[in-house]
Amino acid sequence: MKHVKLLLGYALLANMLVSCYADVIIEDAYIEESAFNSDQVLQAYDLWYVDINETRGNGEVPFLQRAFTVTFDRGTFYANNNIVGIGKTGNGFGIEVGFYDTYRGVVEIDHDVDGLWLLEVYAVNGSTIELYDPSTDTSYILQGYQRNNFDYDHVFYDNINYFIQEYDAWEKTYTSNEGELNDFDDENYLQFLPNFFRSSVDAPGTSLGSLQWDYEGNYQVYDVANDASLKTLTLDYDFFGNDYFELYVINDGTIELYHPDSGTIYEFKGRGYQQYLKTGKGAVAKKRIKTSNPTMDVVRKRAK
């Protein structure tokens, strides 16, 4: 695969790409150039968000495939492998997962589990870099943020499929008085797995190990046209048809489901948090892949 990299065009990183000498290749309106001072580039931002949907190539760098953000801090390499706790774990950096060293246009990362990786560093623009793995011809695109301007809401909604899978179960803790009676009133637990969901009518407070899953089926999260802060969710029961909800994130342990057909609001709290450490519980299933939720052309029914 022909690998083409876009030159840094903005001032912030340009000042760090010291121009003592650089090989420049002009081809198809792109310029290819390595960062001169990789360490300053990597430390220019507190957090680098791994935009997994922009990945190019058929290989993978395991620790980048798992991470939502990474941080390069004076030789120590950090990662946020969970949505839950992001912004709080490790003062926002996440957990320490290895060490790194830099050379001209290259970062060498010694990951605690995945071993030694030599990645080329390229600036895409003033807040975006590319990490390229020559061994697999694969590129990851990382967007830089400072901790005080990181868009946590965007990360939650952009990765909501992973977020709802980070708890062993979601327990219903609130049902609004408003709304018509419906079958979903009886369901007190939900569990989201990579390919299907399960639900239970067991009483609130039941231990996770004692839950009996009464129903299961497929589920789908949808984007909503012209409303980036809203997701919708359908639960497709094997024998009982579908339930449709508007899905809202209250915080990293609470979600709200609004049932437009009945006008009922439900809140669920996560139980059994699955923390992904160096490789983590369920690491194979946790590895992020390119996803694109289908888009639903609907109008928000729940008042903001």
pLDDT of residue 277: 57
Q: Please give the structure tokens belonging to residue 27.
A: 């081809």
Provide the residue ranges of all domains of the chain, joining segments of one domain with +: 11-155, 167-273
Separation of alpha carbons 304 and 300, rounded Å: 9
pLDDT of residue 239: 67
> 295-296 and 215-224: which strand pairing?
parallel
Closest-CA residue to 43 (of 17, 73, 18): 73
Per the CB < 8 A criterion, the answer to whether 163 and 152 are in contact is no
Looking at the domain 11-155, which fold is it? Lipocalin (2.40.128)
pLDDT of residue 1: 37
Separation of alpha carbons 159 and 142, rounded Å: 15
Summarised one tens digit per residue, pLDDT across range 156-205 is 888 899 999 999 999 999 999 999 999 999 999 999 998 899 999 999 99
**In terms of C-beta density within 10 A (0-12 exposed, 13-18 middle, 19 or more buried), how is residue 108 classed?**
middle
Separation of alpha carbons 188 and 98, rounded Å: 41
Q: Same topology for domains 11-155 and 167-273, yes or no?
A: yes
Per the CB < 8 A criterion, the answer to whether 252 and 166 are in contact is no
Average pLDDT by consecutive 10-residue portion of the chain (304 residues)?
A: 36 42 32 61 95 92 95 96 89 94 94 95 92 96 93 85 94 96 95 93 96 94 90 87 92 95 97 71 58 87 79
CB-based burial, 220-238: b 16+ in 10 Å, e otherwise: ebbbbeeeeebbbbebbbe
Per the CB < 8 A criterion, the answer to whether 232 and 257 are in contact is no
pLDDT of residue 247: 96
CATH code, residues 167-273: 2.40.128.540
First to last CA, the chain: 47
Q: Please give the structure tokens belonging to residue 207.
A: 């231990």
Q: What is the pTM of this model?
A: 0.79
Summarised one tens digit per residue, pLDDT across range 253-284 is 999 999 999 999 999 999 998 877 544 444 43
Residue type at position 80 = N
Q: Please give the structure tokens belonging to residue 60.
A: 């993978």
pLDDT of residue 199: 96
pLDDT of residue 8: 36
Per the CB < 8 A criterion, the answer to whether 235 and 241 are in contact is no
Helix (H) or strand (E) holding 152: helix 152-158
Separation of alpha carbons 81 and 67, rounded Å: 4
Per the CB < 8 A criterion, the answer to whether 234 and 219 are in contact is yes
pLDDT of residue 222: 96
